[in-house]
Amino acid sequence: MRNKRGGVAVAILIAVLLGLHSTPKLALRTYVFFTGHPIAAVTTGIIDDEYHNQVDKEAFVRINAKAYTLTKPPVERATQGELRNYLVRKIGFLYVVEYYGEL
């Protein structure tokens, strides 16, 4: 019985993690939340980063990615810089996020 409950708990955890990466914006909010900015993850708006999507269009097509910008970005404590731009890649049916910077 104990083993069965552990298996169910793991299955639920995996389902939640897959659900949190099922759309680009939800994956981005999850990333911001788990990088230490839970309030920003909930309160910020997310818009297309038109500049980077245009400038890096060919590269983004190759890696199946799109850039997004947070309207109320979190501030990095060490440098006081705004963490505004993120790259969201689609891998299979999941979306993976990485910080893109202010380039």
Torsion angle of the four alpha carbons 68, 71, 77, 81, in this order, in degrees rounded to the nearest 10:
70
Q: Is 9 helix (H, G, I), strand (E, B) or coil?
A: helix
Instruction: Note the pTM of the prediction, 2 decimals.
Output: 0.85
- Which residues constitute the domain of residue 8? 2-99
Task: Give 55-64 pLDDT, tens digit per residue.
Answer: 999 999 999 9
Asked if residue 102 has pLDDT above 80, the reply is no
For 67-100, the pLDDT digits (tens) are 999 999 999 888 889 999 999 999 999 999 999 9
Nearest alpha-carbon partner for 17 in 30, 35, 33: 30
pLDDT 10s digits, 15-73: 888 888 889 999 999 999 999 999 999 999 999 999 999 999 999 999 999 999 999 99
* Total domains in the fold of the chain: 1
